[in-house]
Structure 1
Amino acid sequence: MVVDFLIVGHGLAGVCVAQHLEKYDASFTVINQEQEFSSSKVAAGLYNPITGRKMKKTWLADDIFPYMESFYEALEEKLNSRFLIKRKIYRPFTSIEEQNEWIGSDDSDEKLNFIEKVSTNPLYGDFIDDPYGGISLSHCGFLDVNEMLTAHKEYLIKQDKYLNKKLNYNQLKISSSLIEYENLKAKNIIFCDGALTDNPYFNWVPTAPVKGEILHIQTDKPLPNDVIFNRGVFIVKHSEQNYYRVGATYEWKNLDHHPTEKARTHLIGKLEELLKIPFKVVGQVAGVRPASKDRRPLIGNHPNKNNVLLFNGLGTKGVSLAPYFANNFCLSILKDEILKEEVSISRYYSLNSR
């Protein structure tokens, strides 16, 4: 049997691509090397339309966030699972000056769709350092990525569309009309497998992978259930009582999956500046996020092999970017719609020497 696509990788990118291929009636098989410390598995899954020190609306937020929420909600229903957890994000002001700067900001109108409330008085003073009030943001929350991956893998297994094995690039046979790998045959192959350094077809694409570390903590008393605190670090409730994830760090040099004392010390310091109630660290995890140098996804076909494709480089905003661009990507290869120029790897074709 020849399927339309062989998808390599079953992280956040692989799930979103697979679901859109299915939506548009394309057949596929997923091949995935299951790893304990993949970036998707250790990610906190936070999504937030207003980010950065200057609280700017994220790129394409008005299009991406409504699509993202509808996609994950439909997938929850399909898989009979729950993994999209909607929560407001509260970002406290650190000074009167910052409070005044925000209130007097000229560009606040463009953010109104994502602002629930601006407070000049403490809202959560019993839990966090909150003397000047802060901003409550809507269309925020987190994706329980592990739950989604598990539910989707079970769904694929029941349809005989999932193989747990490592791809050996040297065993791939690629012609203009057929991809062959062991007993698998496909018309096209899509790489959704994270870091590209070992991939001989896309190792020329400039990437900037980022290692991130997250603490798991327990608190003496529970924080409010309906809010994620985010200032210096984020504090996201886990499924268990009084159990939270705190992150994250950014490291571009030592790209391994080992937690470090340096990150632990940094996160604890930031958490102590924000959180008023006692806590203890009960765990620490690390993962490497596939990202690009220009902070835009890496999507499209190989310049010399039209049936060899890439969906990668989602970076720290992968939860919000993946559904929207998986749809754009699948429409571009199945319906001849235009792939957005900002994400197309054609911007790097000049670097390819193969």
Structure 2
Amino acid sequence: MKYDFIVVGHGLAGAILSYTLRKRGHKVLVIDEPRATGASRVAAGLLNPIAGKRFAKSWLADTFVPAADAFYDELEAHFGQELFTHKPIYKIFSSIEEQNTWMAKSGGGEWGAYILATHTQSINQESINDPNGGIMIGHGGNLRVAEMLDLLTQELQGQGLLLPERFEMEKLELTEGGVTYKKVEAAHLIFCEGFQVLQNPYFKWLPIQPTKGEVLEVEAQNLDPECIYNKGVYVVPVGGGRFKVGATYNWRQPDEEPTPDGQQELTERFSQITSKPYQVLHHWAGIRPAVRDRKPLAGRHPQHPQLSVFNGMGSKGVLMAPYLAQHFAAALESGTEVMPDVHISRYLSLYYDYIKEQDKQP
């Protein structure tokens, strides 16, 4: 069987890229080992155009936000099911100093419609602790990531375009015309493996930092579900009085096991947002593929142009993946390269160091 592309990995990045390639008319085979956990499946799917304690507009937000809106609208129409919910994000000031930091930055015109309102005092919502006020952020929302992945998986299975198995690197052969995997041929293979790329002999030199994140699902019937809250953690409504609360950032324990320390950190931070009673229903952990400079990784292998990588979106995949998938697909079709900010060539020195080390091996 001959394909245009093989995509290895069907988390958020791989799913959006493989769908994008198929919509552009390409024959795509996805290889993915079924897993109940993973960073994409446990994440709340938050899209936030304003990020961090410094109130910085997300990198390329003016490009990524409309592309994400268009992509998720199209995906909902394709499946006839709501997957993305637009909601304002109430970023609560943690102190007067944080309020002052925002007031000093907000005079510029770059914020546009991203800031719906600035509150220098509490919004007087009974369930929310916001004595210093906060900002109401527009163009935010959350994607039902697990539901999206399930729908796309079912579609691939129905069309015979999914191999539900662990990718066996030793079965991969590089040919003049592309690649061969077992009995499958393709012109190009794209790795979308998340943090597992660190075990990939072709791309393990990339500076992926596995970052464990823990997430809770809580029931809090007294909390207004018409808003996403952020103060140290995000609080995302998921329906029925339930909210996802997350996430922790742990570089020291690169595993997917929930921990008592993680739950304690999340419950303490959640209690700073609301003093109303709640019940913890679920506790998950996943590993994000974070990158040193906080920008994604995409591009062809330096020596094997039939191999590419599409990875490293960290906690921003819902925002960035739709545009970058289109951008990457167009580059693959035209034989050109992706934008320098995401191209893996920015870490080419690491590749050469890796090759030198390999040459030293007996």
TM range (shorter): over 0.9
Name the SS for the 2:218 alignment partner.
strand
Q: For 1:200, what is the secondary structure of its paired residue?
A: coil
Cα distance in 1 for residues equivalent to 2:105 and 2:242: 36
Change (3 A) 1:259 1:106: closer
Per the TM alignment, residue 154 of structure 1 is displaced from its structure 2 partner at its CA by: 1.3
Is contact 1:79-1:152 (8 Å) kept?
A: no
Q: Secondary structure at the residue paired with 2:31?
A: strand
Q: Secondary structure at the residue paired with 2:290?
A: coil
1:202 counterpart = 2:203: yes
Contact 2:212 2:250 in 1 (8 A): yes
**Which whole-Å deviations, capped at 9, do the CAs of 1:197-251 have from their partners, x for residues lacking one?**
21111111121121000111112x3322220010111111123x22111111001
Query: What's 1:233 paired with?
Result: 233
Partner of 1:278: 277
Cα 1:130/1:33, change in 2 over 3 Å: same
Q: Does the aligned pair in 2 maintain the 1:176–1:306 contact within 8 Å?
A: no
Distance 2:86 2:291 in 1: 28
Q: CA deviation at 1:94?
A: 3.0
CA RMSD of aligned residues (A): 1.5
Residues in 1 aligned to 2:102 and 2:304: alpha-carbon distance in whole angstroms: 50
Query: Structure 2: how far apart are the matches of 1:94 and 1:243?
Result: 24
Which position in structure 2 is the counterpart of 1:312? 311
Alignment of 1:1-354 (within 5 A): 1-105=1-105, 107-195=107-195, 196-219=197-220, 221-239=221-239, 241-352=240-351, 353=355
Report the CA distance between 1:176 and its aligned residue.
Answer: 2.6
Deviations 1:42-74 (A, max 9, x none): 111111000111111010000111111111110
Whole-Å Cα distance in 1 between the matches of residues 322 and 269 of structure 2? 32
AA aligned opposite 1:167: F
- Structure 1 ranges of 4+ moved more than 4 A: none
Quote how far apart the aligned CAs of 1:100 are: 4.1
Query: Partner of 1:310: helix, strand, or coil?
Result: strand
Distance 1:297 1:104, change over 3 A: closer
Q: Distance in 2 between matches of 1:26 and 1:217?
A: 42
- Report how far residue 21 of structure 1 moved: 1.1
Q: State the alpha-carbon separation in 2 of the partners of residues 71 and 32 from structure 1.
A: 23
Give the secondary structure class of the aligned counterpart of 2:327: helix
Question: 1:69–1:257: structure 2 CA closer, same or farther, 3 Å change rule?
Answer: same
Distance 1:294 1:101 in 2: 24
Q: Distance in 2 between matches of 1:228 and 1:130?
A: 14
Contact 2:55-2:102 within 8 A present in 1 as well: no
Alignment size in residue pairs: 352
Deviation at 1:104, TM superposition (A): 4.0
**Cα contact 2:54–2:101 (8 A) shared by 1:** no
- 1:14 deviates by 1.0
How far apart are residue 24 of structure 1 and its match?
2.3
Tell me which moved more, 284-293 or 13-22: 13-22
1:114 CA drift (Å): 0.4
- Corresponding letter in the other structure for 1:238: V
Q: Deviations over 1:141-164 (max 9, x none)?
A: 111100100111111122211121
Once residues 75 and 150 of structure 1 are traced to their aligned partners in structure 2, the CA distance between those partners, rounded to angstroms, is: 13
Q: Which stretch has the larger CA shift, 294-303 or 91-100?
A: 91-100
Which is further off, 142-151 or 169-178? 169-178
Q: TM-score w.r.t. structure 1 length? A: 0.95
Which region of structure 1 is more displaced relative to structure 2, 15-24 or 168-177? 15-24
For normalisation by structure 2, the TM-score amounts to 0.93
- How far the C-alpha of 1:112 sits from its partner, in A, is 2.4
Q: Compared with structure 1, are the counterparts of its residues 268 and 185 closer, same or farther at alpha carbon in structure 2 (3 Å cutoff)?
A: same
State the SS of the aligned residue for 1:299. Answer: strand
Does structure 2 conserve the Cα–Cα contact (< 8 Å) formed by 1:129 and 1:273?
yes
